[in-house]
Amino acid sequence: MSKSLVIVESPAKAKTINKYLGSDYLVKASMGHVMDLPKKELGVDVEHGFRPTYNAIPARKEVIADLKSAASKANSIYLAADPDREGEAICQHLHELLHSGKRKFHRVLFNEITRDAVRAAFEHPKEIDSHLVNAQQARRILDRLVGYQVSPLLWEKVKRGISAGRVQTVALRLIVEREREIQAFQKKEYWTITALVEGKNPPEFEARLAKYQGKDIEIPDQASADQVTAAIKAATLVVQSVTTKEKRKFPVPPFITSKLQQEAVRKLRFWAKKTMMVAQHLYEGVELPGEGAVGLITYMRTDSTRVAEGALTAVRGYIKEKFGDGYLPDQAIHYKSKKDAQDAHEAIRPTDVLRTPESLRKILGPDEYKLYKLIWQRFVASQMNPAIFDQTTVDIAAGDYTLRATGSVEKFKGFLAVYEEGRDEKEGVEEDEELKRRLPAVAEGERLKLNKLTPEQHFTEPPPRYNEATLVKALEEKGIGRPSTYATILSVIQNREYVEKNQGRFFPTQLGMLVSDMLVKNFSDIFDVAYTARMEEELDEVEEGKLSWTDALEDFYKKFKKELRQAERHMEDIKGEGIPTDVKCEKCGKPMVIRLGRNGPFMACTGYPDCDGTSDLPPALAAKYASASPPAPEVAAENCEKCGKPMAVKRGRFGYFLACTGYPECHNTKKIIIKEGNATAVGDQPLEEKCPECGNHLVIKHGRYGQFTACSNYPKCKYIKRETLGIPCPEKGCTGELMARRTRFKTTFYGCTRYPDCKFTSRDKPVAEPCPNCGSPILVEKFNKKTGETVRRCPNEACTFERAVA
């Protein structure tokens, strides 16, 4: 008897679904997309309705063969990819690859991977949604048209290997424009005056100057502050009014994708990509004792705040039992989604509210637990009554001036018993502090004693640089990208080295500022924020069946083709002619141009090769084109121990370091380590051991990936000592030893000292213990976060040996 074939994207999802369907179904994973546009050509016929050419992805060759084999034995095929545009496109491509008149295809959709949701989906299968497929295809072609036609232009004019993206360039533009705002910002002085006063009833409390003769007051300088301070000190302080009113603070809706990413940055210090990876795992299924793999949250790519009625009933029952009737609204709260939200999915919530975070604490890994707790708390809080405060405002007359004190008393905790939303910046923090103050009982007409009067100088601050939370928020508010794209956007602009992150903030690099300026100047429409947002709306209209996907592409390509031709003619050629300036070469007097080097923009003489004059950018141009890098760390002044010359802070590809000013005669450098805001220069640490190649002492150096041992006679001697594990390489015939290595992402892996001749690697730590099953010369050791156990297993994929380490 033939089985029905079910195809999902990932093995984890397959494992979870398989246990709900029984023996009549065979569940397999496609490992994501199986078809895509070709890598080495445009793959879009722009002259004939933007017809795309899709090829099977080479890396999926074996997966596709396996799926075809399974499909040939099945009477029905159920396509169960994720319920979004990408998932629908995967289903369409699978249908094209596996299509046969003998087999029926069904599309099954579920918002959560639970027994009831999966079974309901299979009882009521659907057809593939062509509108969703067209929307995904339109986005893919849009991105291909921009990437494959603008990137070569950048290679020709700016630098080989860099690239442009339709949405990512707009995100970069936001970061660069924010940097320019910061550069142009001029701080403004202002003063505040705070009085510490005391009435008949303790305790003393603070009141801040608010008005002069009934109008808001600004104090611009110290002279004005001194004048106001003297007047208040000379005046009699009398309570003018006491106003108490009830204030309610309402809960926020359950998470949508963008809000989850923002809150995970604020509270968990997760970057957007990590948030989505952890959420994907929670969605696809986690092994629970006695239950097997269970999906713990609903689908995590959504911009809808809608919640299923069954989930609302369950959470209301939980709130009533756990907190009592006072915390439960008379009716379930239904939140309104934003105007352009796609309401096909629910908000992100736990699949079962009775699975509390504490009940899963020992089962989930640390990151999974933190994110699940955040999702669970926000969902429960979203269906609770508001918090209630008595807010009191006391106005105090001091002659012509009015001082104001604000405080509050919490009457009812409400949803705050479970959850309170984080904040992005300093906005509202001062207000929150005032609301937390408790004021003593005072009466109108009561005279107060002035205990202290404090004038304080302040300066206005520039807008803060974006962090991941505020950038996602900006993209969402401006309509740039969609829930499934935010994490990718942030990753791409960093991977392309257009921006760098320091202490959580985005700084545009020199390359990023140049590329952004050139693209925005030459493609004024395509990389315009409003235009990109409109394209997102058009893709939504395609998804809804209101707009033809080819019409959307036709309108876009008309503008794009025109701007592309103009850019080919007029874009500045930094690699060739450079960007012209009015600066004259100090050597020969000829005009200088801006060129892009390994370490960023620099000035070069147009008389090259007859004149090799170069220089740094002058201040005016540096402000426009130079890197907006984090400020150099302050390190205690010191002289080079090798030659006696002063050491200076320098910046290289991998950050700041201390270098001898005697370079190139002296190559002495020290790594700068920043810990808790303090910068320390760490030099080489001498060892008694001698270099086997030149006889000089070895030293411990501090490199990009950590400490290593090398010759003190560098660069004349480039010997580096290999720190091995003392375990022979298990590869047959290899004479090397295994050693720990570090990736550029600072993760550890293990490899052979004879690399690249021997390419053995292992993510898990090798142990000098033979496998009792297959005789492999080593085992590998791994810590299981879920169970808290350390296990040793055989690295041979064909061997199943594994045992716990006592």
- Which residues are within 8 A (CB) of 642 and not within 5 positions of it... i.e. 6 or more apart? 660, 666, 668
Contact partners, residue 462, CB within 8 Å, separation at least 6: 181, 182, 185, 187
Least confident of 415-424, 465-474, 678-687: 678-687
pLDDT value at residue 609? 87
Examine the pLDDT at 676 and tell me if it is beyond 80.
no
Residue pLDDT, tens place only, 209-232: 999 999 999 999 999 999 999 999
In percent, the amount of the chain with pLDDT more than 90 equals 62
| pLDDT at res. 329 | 97
Single-letter code of the amino acid located at 506: F
Answer yes or no: is pLDDT of 615 > 60: yes
Residue predicted with more confidence, 466 or 99: 466
Whether 339 has a pLDDT exceeding 70, the answer reads: no
First-last CA distance in the chain:
47
Of 527, 559, 555, 546, the C-alpha closest to 134 is 546
Contact by Cβ (8 Å): 356, 376: yes
What is the mean predicted confidence (pLDDT) over 48-72? 94
Predicted pLDDT of residue 614: 87
Q: Can you give the pLDDT at residue 356?
A: 97
Cα separation of 200 and 239, whole Å? Answer: 12
Average pLDDT over residues 190-205: 95
**Strand pairing report for 678-682 and 685-690:** unpaired
Residue with tokens 């699978």: 94
| pLDDT bucket at 338, cuts 50 / 70 / 90 | confident
Q: Is the pLDDT of residue 773 over 90?
A: no
Task: Name the band, by pLDDT with cuts 50, 70 and 90, for residue 621.
Answer: confident
Q: Is the pLDDT of residue 431 over 70?
A: no
Return the bridge partners of 792, or none: 781, 803
Residue 3 CA to residue 27 CA, distance in Å, equals 10
Q: Which residues are catalytic?
A: 299
Per-residue pLDDT, averaged over 607-620, amounts to: 84
Most confident of 166-170, 637-641, 662-666: 166-170
- Tens-place pLDDT, residues 481-498: 888 899 999 999 998 889
- Mean pLDDT over residues 45-49, rounded? 94
pLDDT(675) > 70: no
Which CB contacts under 8 angstroms, 24+ apart, belong to 427-436?
Answer: 434/406, 434/407, 435/389, 435/391, 435/406, 435/407, 435/408, 436/407, 436/408
Q: Name residue, tokens 């990208």.
A: 481
Does pLDDT of 786 surpass 60?
no
Q: Which residues pair with 77 in a beta bridge?
A: 5, 105
Query: What confidence score (pLDDT) does residue 166 get?
Result: 93
Q: pTM here?
A: 0.76
- From the centroid of its chain, how far is CA 65? 36
Residue corresponding to tokens 């002058």: 618
Count of residues for the chain? 806
What mean pLDDT, rounded, does the chain reach? 89
Percent of the chain with pLDDT over 70: 93
Closest residue by Cα to residue 739 from 705, 716, 766, 715: 766
Segment 15-23 shows an average pLDDT of: 90
| Rounded Cα–Cα distance for residues 519 and 525 (Å) | 10
What is residue 682's predicted lDDT score, i.e. its pLDDT?
Answer: 82
Sign of CA dihedral 256, 261, 266, 269: positive
Q: Identify the pLDDT of residue 341.
A: 60
Which among 465, 399, 407, 398 is positioned nearest to 434, based on CA atoms? Answer: 407
Secondary-structure percent of the chain, ordered helix, strand, coil, rounded to 5: 30, 25, 40
Asked if pLDDT for residue 628 goes beyond 90, the answer is no
Identify the sign of the CA torsion 417, 421, 425, 427: negative
Per-residue confidence band for 662, with pLDDT thresholds at 50, 70 and 90 = confident
* Bridge-based pairing state of the strands 189-198 and 55-56: unpaired
State yes or no: pLDDT of 472 exceeds 90: yes
CA 532 to each of CA 1, 257, 539: distance values in angstroms, whole numbers, following the listed order: 53, 20, 11
Task: Give the DSSP H/E element, type plus range, for residue 16.
Answer: helix 11-21
pLDDT reported for residue 631:
62
pLDDT level of residue 467 (50, 70, 90 thresholds): very high
Determine the Cα–Cα distance for residues 27 and 30; give it in Å rounded to an integer: 10
Cα-Cα-Cα-Cα dihedral sign, residues 228, 230, 236, 239 = positive
pLDDT confidence of residue 425: 63
> How many helices (H) and strands (E) would you count in the chain?
19, 39
pLDDT at 348 over 70: yes
Ranges 291-305, 368-382, 766-780, most confident: 368-382
Which pLDDT band, with edges at 50, 70 and 90, does 793 fall under?
confident
Burial class (CB within 10 angstroms; exposed 0-12, middle 13-18, buried 19+) of 162: middle
